[in-house]
A and B are shown apart, each in its own frame.
Chain A
């Protein structure tokens, strides 16, 4: 797997940073890949469009910042407007269906969406939206394996909430697999 640059965007409180962290942890600790995550700090990190930046690769990562992300996971309209222009040609865009309207989307972008908020609400906790998105991203990309992602979820979420988060992860993952059956040509090589 070559260098993959991932950007996760949303608004504060959606667990954007945590989902990036779990993905990186899954790759670097449980999948023996390399991962570098850069945190945005200061006022900009607390604003309405916050983001996590992550690189995952089979090779050691030298340059630490993302240049042109080839995978984006977006959970707010503002993040969509702000970040999609950066998406690399042919990149994968994963969005939260009810929170993001994908107008003017470039033709080269491989786009999938999931009603993650509704799924999270059905599970009884809107907060696990980010973990639903994470399961979704795990299914639709080959960034990390399912087991690695599950292991990382387990050690990264608050104690006592593991089962709920696993359920959220599985729902997102399953949803992703179903979509993939419909459009297998879109998967990340």
Chain B
């Protein structure tokens, strides 16, 4: 499937990451957005509000983020692709509905333009402090997908990708931007519609009598219908059976939750996405993501100029985490350095996968700005000491 040309602003633009995200959503076929104003994400919904009347979309500014995060799910069951957009405090309010989307396998996209927290923190300044929240924020066990762009171009490309993954796996996908990327203006090239690949959810069109809304084949992904198609579906956040009916048994719980986990796990190799540079033969690998992947580059260059063998692995999809690859690397390199605009979150995942096979050094930052390359350089050098 390709994008519907009606929504695609083909051409080269000089726009910020927030606006590029809006265009990505429109190109992906998103036609319902519910949101609530919050810095630094507001520009996304402002552009959606501007553009939607001309592309057959409905935008509604809801009364809060809680409402926004469930209105989109109503819209999805009404047949649309839908997204909500927020930043830290609003993201916190949305957590329950990330769980609902995971439980009811409602494909939808949550955009979090991260700012420095906790609480109100620094509303106009960047951070990457919501990375664990994206993964674990709602109660109970479930899996989600989280993507981290590092430029306005990627805000476009990866928003399209976020919708595609969401539709394919019927899972909420988090688009984890940050203030710097969201407000940064760069060239964004939007391809023609026929060059933009768009995936749509698997739709059931068999006989009504035999439809079981949450029955799956070996891919563990159920096919979907929408309200009004005559299937008389029941969708609940309660533990449910394959028909979608509540089932309060321990066995139903075990079966459902296991499948919600496995649904992503068995496809992890297809979902995981990272970019490597000079990793083979490196003594040190910097594992970075989002804006931090850009601040790491001057540090890596400076380290190389000093004769150190430094590779760079940038996580594009952070959740699911590329466990296999990090495990493999940990056996080959002396150290892994993890700069992130938080006090240390993804570094725990790296440590878990490295399992003591190499040195793992965190380069924390409380947010508000980006790292100074010299801090990352110092960590690279430090990581080799005593190895």
* Chain A residues within CB distance 8 Å of chain B: 21, 24-25, 28-29, 34-39, 41-42, 61-65
Contact = CB atoms under 8 A, between A and B. Distances in A.
A65 B16 CA distance: 14
B124 A25 contact: no
Interface in B255-296: 291, 294-295
Given A41-B39, A41-B40, A29 B12 contact: yes
B364 interface: no
A37 B294 contact: no
B370 A38 contact: no
B185 A37 contact: yes
B149 interface: no
Most buried by A among B12, B13, B14, B16: B14
B183 interface: yes
Contacts of B294: 61-64
A25 B183 contact: no
B297 interface: yes
Given A24-B14, A41-B124, A42-B39, A62 B297 contact: yes
A64 B184 contact: yes
A151 to B, nearest CB: 12
Contacts, number: 61
A65 B186 contact: no
B124 A38 contact: no
Nearest to A37: B185
Given A42-B123, A62-B294, A29 B369 contact: no
| SS of B interface (majority) | mixed
A64 B370 contact: yes
Q: Name the interface size band of chain B.
A: 20 to 34
B187 A28 contact: yes
Contacts of B186: 28, 34-37, 61
A37 B184 contact: yes
B187 A35 contact: yes
A63 B124 contact: no
B373 interface: yes
Interface string B117-154: 00000011000000000000000000000000000000
A62 B373 CA distance: 11
Contacts of A64: 180, 184, 291, 294-295, 370
Nearest to A62: B297
Nearest to B295: A63
A-B CB proximity, top 9 nearest? A62-B297, A42-B124, A25-B14, A28-B187, A37-B185, A41-B124, A62-B294, A39-B183, A29-B12
A35 B14 contact: yes
B114 to A, nearest CB: 14
A17 to B, nearest CB: 10
Nearest to B189: A29
